[in-house]
Chain A
Amino acid sequence: MTRLTNAFSKSHPALVCFVTAGDGDTAANLDALVEGGADVIELGMPFTDPMADGPAIQAGNIRSLNAGTTTADVLRIARKFRERHPEVPLVLMGYANPMIRRGPDWFANAAKEAGVDGVICVDIPPEEDDALGPQLRDAGISPIRLATPTTDAKRLPQVLEGSSGFLYYVAVAGITGMQQAAIESIEANVSRIKQSTDIPVAVGFGVRTPEQAAEIAEVADGVVVGSALVELVGEHGADAPAKLRELTAGLAKAVHSAAKGAA
């Protein structure tokens, strides 16, 4: 069993928490997420042009890059996290260019050595899988794909092919951190997806509060929260860990007490 499989095999839905690497004291921020009860950590790789992200995560990217964060720093943060938390799954999320700059083999191997379990690359759809997918799979890292409201039934098998770990269902056609989709639409889409796959489905984009998270946890295998956490890092800087722990604890309580999802 991999760390990711374990996280989604618990008796309750999984809480997936995102922060940007190099934004604030990332080690302390990550520890706060784990202490608060996050089941999976998504670590954002900063990029100058995060075109799928809303204002909150854009700002996190800029803060990180302005602080001088490099790819080596991101990998170092991941490696140290793995040393401190041997069992908590860690997923890198970001954009293609920083990932393939030194070659996809280099990146897959470096991520593996840093103890990374999965990679979400926003702008490598199944059509361009060759750019990074084979190298990740060879290194034993899960390529985690996104499915969206525009991913129709005909296209879904292509999205699922070659992906593992979990499927990230993007609840709204839009960018991160904006409005939340109606729960009816989320429920319908998640159940449609789950008819085609055994891979766990986590839902994100626009999830900010424990109430929203609880509602989604009733119908999915996991809930992803990003922008609301990144905003806390932006607002509170060095004092962010306490705030992150508090919000994560609230989210975890809500998600973990939901009935095991549609699974």
Chain B
Amino acid sequence: MASTANTFRNQPDERGHFGDYGGRYVAETLMPLVLDLEREYRKAQADPEFQREFDDLLEHYVGRPSPLYHAERLTEALGGAQVWFKRDELNHTGAHKINNCIGQILLAIRMGKTRIIAETGAGQHGVATATVCARFGLPCVIYMGAEDVRRQSPNVFRMKLLGAEIVPVTSGRGTLKDAMNEGLRDWVANVEDTFYIIGTAAGPHPYPEMVRDFQSIIGKEARAQMLDRIGRLPNLAVACIGGGSNALGLFHPFLDDREVKLLGVEAAGHGLDGDEHAASLLGGFPGVLHGNKTYLLQDEDGQITEGHSISAGLDYPGIGPEHAWLKDTGRVEYTAVTDEEALEAFQLLCRTEGIIPALEPSHAIAAVAKRAKEMPKDSVILANLCGRGDKDIFTVAEKLGVEM
């Protein structure tokens, strides 16, 4: 029997701390709101009806469980470990983001909130939020950096079709972190009626825990599917990391399976030796931003620097606080993959498996390709395919020098 001291699955503590990380670093105006949110979340967790409704929507609206797929041609091409994919790109809206949005909107409705706000970078979380708002008939405001609005016009149109109001954010440098600042400013000014659906496992407690819990469906399913299909757990589980919600969703149910190695893949952009990357864990330092203490891209004075990645979903200068803790404890290994390597992996998966992945999981696939070659053929790698690549074809075409 595992003692509580011997588990990696009992974080955070009652103050929302993952070791030294996490917490509730918010302005006083928001403090009573996050305390209220925590109370309501605890009640929802204990309510079987909440869980039943969540499960029902995941099954019939999102399309869960997502398949576990043995990528035989990719395995053969790599010539090492067997590669299996958790197919979360087959979810409604095309990514893992919707799992969390379903959970949070059910909570918002429970709390009697009548207006939803969210931030988005590449637009996947914005689309998922706009989707659940349409499904439940709630008005929805999405904050998106002006620069991202320009780069991600198909997703902007999708959100508009779904009835969301898009607010281009020009403050700061007009990217994801500025959109999150603007979301927090909206929330602080609309404390009575508004629920903020944060898109990743970051922000003030209880968001990191709550988002992880909602996303843990990924790892719970994958773990059971692995046992069912091959009668054993994988040797290695791999996921890409921006804020880190898909990786935590995959990893968390495996944290106490010590024989399963876990690998998180950050975006190395143009390389970790310069400033053009988005690897908060490998290239950043602990600090406080957006309500939590975690690793951040920042300068020596604590000013936040901009991340860069070919993938708009990974270029956030922070990381969920639980990852910061998992890094320091050594339970999860973290690595980084460059734009170029991700682009190669993207094409590799297209051609070997007939799957066009998003640029985010292309980072995970690149890391899988490296590791698989170093592992024996009877070993197993499980990777999360957290999004599909339709949204990225324009970016990829541009990088490949193709006119569309």
Interface, chain A (partner B; CB < 8 A): 47-52, 54-55, 58, 62, 65, 70-71, 95-101, 122-125, 127-128, 131, 145-152, 155, 159, 170, 172-175, 178
Contact = CB atoms under 8 A, between A and B. Distances in A.
A150 B31 CA distance: 8
Contacts of A49: 172, 177-178, 181, 289-290, 304
Interface in B166-225: 171-172, 177-178, 180-181, 184-185, 188-189, 191
A33 B290 CA distance: 32
Contacts of B302: 47, 71, 97-101
B321 to A, nearest CB: 13
A-B pairs, top 8 by smallest CB distance, nearest first, are: A101-B302, A174-B189, A98-B302, A96-B288, A97-B302, A148-B29, A51-B181, A146-B28
Contact of A170 (B28, B177, B178): B28
Given A48-B304, A97-B303, A100-B288, 10 more contacts: A49-B177, A55-B171, A97-B289, A101-B287, A125-B26, A146-B28, A151-B32, A173-B29, A174-B185, A178-B189
Given A48-B172, A48-B303, A62-B172, A175 B185 contact: yes
Contact of A123 (B15, B33, B288, B300): B288
23 contacts: A48-B172, A49-B181, A49-B289, A50-B181, A51-B180, A71-B302, A96-B287, A97-B287, A97-B298, A100-B287, A122-B27, A123-B288, A124-B288, A125-B26, A125-B27, A127-B23, A128-B25, A146-B29, A150-B29, A155-B32, A173-B191, A175-B185, A175-B189
A48 B306 CA distance: 10
Residue with the greatest number of chain B CB neighbours at <10 A, chosen from A54, A150, A151, A170: A150
A123 B25 contact: yes
Nearest to A124: B25
Contact of B31 (A70, A127, A131): A127
Contact of B32 (A47, A62, A146, A150): A150
A50 B177 CA distance: 11
B291 interface: yes
A62 B181 CA distance: 14
Interface residues of B, number: 36
B25 A98 contact: no
Contacts of B290: 49, 51
Interface string B13-36: 001000000011111111111000
A63 to B, nearest CB: 13
A50 to B, nearest CB: 8
A22 to B, nearest CB: 11
Interface of B: 15, 23-33, 171-172, 177-178, 180-181, 184-185, 188-189, 191, 287-291, 293, 296, 298, 300-304
B127 to A, nearest CB: 24
Which of A100, A123, A145, A146 lies at the interface centre, i.e. has the most chain B CB atoms within 10 A of its CB?
Answer: A123
Q: Which of A96, A97, A100 has the most CB of B within 10 A?
A: A97
Nearest to A95: B288
A97 B304 contact: yes
A146 B27 contact: yes
A170 B189 CA distance: 12
Given A155-B32, A173-B188, A97 B24 contact: no
A100 B298 CA distance: 12
Nearest to A148: B29
Contacts of B15: 127
Q: Give the residue among B30, B191, B287, B302 with the most A Cβ atoms within 10 A.
A: B302
Contacts of A65: 303
Contacts of B300: 101
Given A51-B184, A70-B301, A97 B296 contact: yes
